[in-house]
Amino acid sequence: MAQKKEDKKMTMDQAEKKILTLKKDLLNIRFKKINNQINNPAQYNQIKKSIARLYTTIKNSKWQRKF
């Protein structure tokens, strides 16, 4: 829950950088999942949701700036 609040307070640049790092983590988890080396399979879905949350934050901040 605290992470959601932190994501909303980020600037555009910070959110984009975090998205890039999360995408790299997601790629690494996919490879681990294929090789059956993953410890926490739920982490894959958590990262996907975090990426979606950040994209939504960016979209909402752009929309608010138009008005």
Per-residue pLDDT reduced to its tens digit, 15-63: 899 999 999 999 999 999 889 888 888 999 999 999 999 999 888 877 6
Predicted pLDDT at 2 = 57
Predicted pLDDT at 13 = 85
Class of domain 2-65: mainly alpha
Predicted pLDDT at 63 = 65
Give the chain's end-to-end CA distance (angstroms, integer): 29
Domain locations in the chain as residue ranges: 2-65
Q: What's the predicted TM-score (pTM) here? A: 0.79
> Is the distance from CB of 49 to CB of 25 less than 8 angstroms?
no
Token pair, residue 39, equals 């410890």
Length of the chain (residues): 67
Which of 8 and 44 is assigned the larger pLDDT?
A: 44
